[in-house]
Amino acid sequence: MTAFRNFCSVNNFVFGKGSFNELGTIIEKRRVETPSFFVYLVDEVFKGKVLEQRIPLSGDDFIIWLGTQDEPKTSKVDELTQQILNDYEELPAGVIGIGGGIMMDYAKAISLTLTNPGPSETYQGLDLIKNKGVWSACIPTIAGTGAEVSMTAVLSGPEKKLGIKCDYTVANQIILDPELCEGVPAPQRFYTGMDSYIHAVEALTGHCRNTFGDAYGEKSLEMCQDVFLNYENIYHPEADEKLMVASYLGGLSLTYSQVGVCHALSYGLAHVLGTHHGIANCICFNHLEDFYGEYVGEFHKMLELHNIELPQGITKDLPREKLTEMANVAYALDHMWLHALGDDWQQKIDIEMLEALFARL
Ligand code: NAD
Ligand code: ZN
């Protein structure tokens, strides 16, 4: 008998240019229900910018400014959680992430670790969280990861890069305001946008698919193709709007499907070299013709159209044991391989083949 999963989704969302202005009203309503303070986790790129002035602080609300040099680490999640618990007698009414995937994942993770004791690394995996978190909101300022809508908060721990994945991880509220993406620099706009393209390609080309996930994946793919093939200049309000919706749909396509080979490799690169997600995906996807055929050709066209030169030979001077370490991290992501290659994936890929793939990057 098929086992059905009872999926959870974001409770409320607002979409549209200028919709960030709704945040004040949204949180004041929450504050009536839970009379406490709000914690904002905000990308420090916005410090001193107009957006800072637009954050509706009141009472004991406060902002934690965070850099994006590193992707979210379990140790940082634990440190910030402890800081909030030590400084206040009560739990916050909500945790709000404003930024890219990094800020949104911090917000989602900390909302959970505030109510689930112990180091966050013990929750990396599926359904390991016991208690519902505090109310959380995600407000993307760059489009592509789908983190705003996904049921995972991706963290790098001492041993692995893996999400805290469960129903409770899903944000309660999202605000999708394409105007917030205006300042995203090149080529980051391309790299993060490509995350969405690759999510859709991987979701649509594997084994764990169904009509529900495909519908989201197909529309997301079409919108990414439109943005990256039809807009010579992706600094365009229409492109921001489309990419923000594509990101959301791509995230949803993964609820019912999975990512695949590119993400497994990209997690290996991130774990060993600290390569950030968007660019790591691009570096890997560039070499995956054997798995994603014509889509890799299309990706090469997009690179050309947007004058993106990807770093080459990033693994060429690495000692063999580093390649093995990457291969082990990638190989352990069995759910991705199962989706990409099928039930007999272990007959199709092994550590040596993965080392060879990493050596090509
Ligand atoms: P990011 O958070 O890494 O930010 C990328 C860069 O863009 C940073 O330098 C940031 O300061 C800058 N930036 C963001 N918005 C800006 C703006 N409006 N103006 C100027 N600069 C801006 O970006 P990302 O690619 O969205 O996120 C990557 C992270 O997301 C990784 O940690 C990855 O693991 C995670 N991720 C999570 C999921 C999920 O489902 N939870 C899915 C995919 C990726
Ligand atoms: Zn991704």
| Whole-number CA gyration radius for the chain | 20
User: What pLDDT digit, counting tens, does each position of 109-143 carry?
Assistant: 999 999 999 899 999 999 999 999 999 999 999 99
| Pocket perturbation via mutation, ligand 1, pick of 10, 20, 43 by most ligand atoms within 8 A of CB | 43
| Structural domains counted in the chain | 2
Residues 46 and 173 in one domain: yes
Q: Is residue 190 a contact partner of residue 235, using CB atoms and an 8 Å limit?
A: no
User: What pLDDT digit, counting tens, does each position of 211-221 carry?
Assistant: 999 999 999 99
CA distance 259 to 18: 32
Identify the domain boundary among 141, 158, 181.
181
**Is the per-residue pLDDT at 92 higher than 70?**
yes
User: What pLDDT digit, counting tens, does each position of 21-69 carry?
Assistant: 999 999 999 999 999 999 999 999 999 999 999 999 999 999 999 999 9
Host domain of residue 309:
186-359
5 domain-assigned = no
Identify the domain boundary among 131, 164, 181.
181
Q: Give me the mean pLDDT over the 134-160 stretch.
A: 95
4 domain-assigned = no
State the sign of the Cα–Cα–Cα–Cα dihedral 351, 354, 360, 361.
Answer: negative
- Identify the bridge partners of residue 137 per DSSP, sorted by sequence position: 96, 173
Residue 5's pLDDT band, with cuts at 50, 70 and 90, is confident
pLDDT for res 338: 96
In ligand 1, which atom is closest to the CA atom of 145?
43
Residues 128 and 207 in one domain: no
**Is the per-residue pLDDT at 157 higher than 80?**
yes
3 domain-assigned = no
CATH of the domain at 161: 3.40.50.1970
CA distance 225 to 206: 19
Residues 202 and 340 in one domain: yes
What is the CB neighbour count within 10 angstroms for residue 4?
6
Residues 211 and 172 in one domain: no
Q: Residue 24 belongs to what H/E stretch?
A: helix 23-33
Q: What is the pTM of this model?
A: 0.96
335 domain-assigned = yes
- Which residues surround ligand 1 with Cβ inside 6 Å? 43, 45, 68, 71-72, 99-102, 105, 141-142, 144-147, 150, 152-154, 180-181, 183-185, 188, 192, 195, 276-278
Residue 2's pLDDT band, with cuts at 50, 70 and 90, is low
| Ligand closest to CA 42 | 1
- Identify the bridge partners of residue 41 per DSSP, sorted by sequence position: 64, 97
Residues 149 and 191 in one domain: no
CATH of the domain at 260: 1.20.1090.10
Residues 271 and 174 in one domain: no
CA distance 279 to 356: 20
Closest by Cα among 253, 27, 271, 244 to 160: 271
7 domain-assigned = no
32 domain-assigned = yes
Identify the domain boundary among 127, 148, 181.
181
Nearest C-alpha to atom 6 of ligand 1 is from which residue?
188
CA distance 96 to 106: 9
Residues 219 and 165 in one domain: no
| Ligand closest to CA 278 | 1
> To which residue do tokens 């440190």 refer?
79
Residues 201 and 137 in one domain: no
Q: Give me the mean pLDDT over the 166-175 stretch.
A: 97
Residues 85 and 176 in one domain: yes
**Is the per-residue pLDDT at 192 higher than 60?**
yes
138 domain-assigned = yes
**Is the per-residue pLDDT at 196 higher than 60?**
yes
165 domain-assigned = yes
Residues whose beta carbons lie less than 5 angstroms from ion ligand 2: 195
CA distance 354 to 322: 12
Residues 24 and 129 in one domain: yes
